[in-house]
Amino acid sequence: MDNTENLMWVDLFNFTDAEANRVAQVFGFHPLSVEDCLHYSPRAKVDNYEDYYFFVLHALRYEEESDEEISLEQLNVYLGKNYVVTLHRRTLPTLGKIARECLANSRPEVMKKGPDFFLYTIMDGITDMYFPVLDRINERVEELEDDLHVQPTREVTEEFLSLKRTTLAMRRAILPQKRIFASGNGNYAFRISEENIPYYLDLVDHIERIIDSIDSFRDLVDGALATYDSIISARTNETMRILTVISTIFMPLTFLTGFFGMNVPLPAQDSVISTISITIGLVGVSLWMFMVFRLRKWI
């Protein structure tokens, strides 16, 4: 660890408490940072411990068919002058890819441009994992919008709500990471060599694009849900209008049949003509009311 010309990378996967404490003892890491490694933290952060920096980052795992589409994998990173220590519970494709490249020496610059460039390589891989997810979310939003106008159902609504939870989870994960890697008046939250600053500028640009896309999807989902409510309300109003027209037409019929159905003597109640007259009157009233409703464009 005293050789500042070489970079050492230590990766702990599915580590135990004893393994994390052992590595902390070897490198002299602060107990509070080890505690953060052992417990899940929902927000990304960076702590300065003078001799090294401690990062809590989150990678994305997207499983569309599962109950929780989005799960965040916590990645803890110790960034020293000549070493990088990463700790994570589950496998991360980004780290696996970097390990293969380092072993094959296909990207020698990863280990030669300093620990800050190594951290950039990790974050660049994590960020790239967001773009396929965003493309899939865009496809799902378009499919659901088509289904919404064809046949709005409760399943479509539940799918939109699921997408909304997904976009919110992504935003909660990546927005704090933007604050870590973006510069404030030219100052960064950790030490970055001058030659590696352009890489971080590009990284922040990618993160901002992702956040803009997430915000756009969130607005689309909110708009689709509002459209769904409007469609349902319009269909409910149409149904209520038809039922009201039917009820209104039957109101005078109910009155007349109730009046002539009273159990008291009525004029000409034994005459066949009276029955025919009443029937013609009932039909006439119904037709007259129907024509009035059509002329007023109520139906």
Q: What are 175-192's pLDDT values in tens digits?
A: 888 889 887 776 888 889
Highest mean pLDDT among 18-32, 161-175, 176-190: 18-32
pLDDT at 152: 65
In the block, tokens 């519970």 appear at 89
Q: How far apart are the first and last CA of the chain?
A: 84
Mean pLDDT for 245-265 is 69
Give the pLDDT band (50/70/90) at residue 19.
very high
Mean pLDDT for 74-84 is 94
Give the pLDDT band (50/70/90) at residue 36.
very high
Q: What's the rounded Cα separation, in Å, for the pair 288 and 294?
A: 10
Report the percent of the chain where pLDDT is more than 70: 88
pLDDT tens digit sequence for 112-139: 889 999 999 999 999 988 888 888 888 8
Q: What's the rounded Cα separation, in Å, for the pair 72 and 179?
A: 18
Q: Which two tokens stand for residue 268?
A: 């000409």
| pLDDT exceeds cutoff 60 at 160 | yes
pLDDT at 83: 93
Instruction: Tell me the pTM.
Output: 0.74
Of 103, 104, 107, 76, the C-alpha closest to 89 is 76
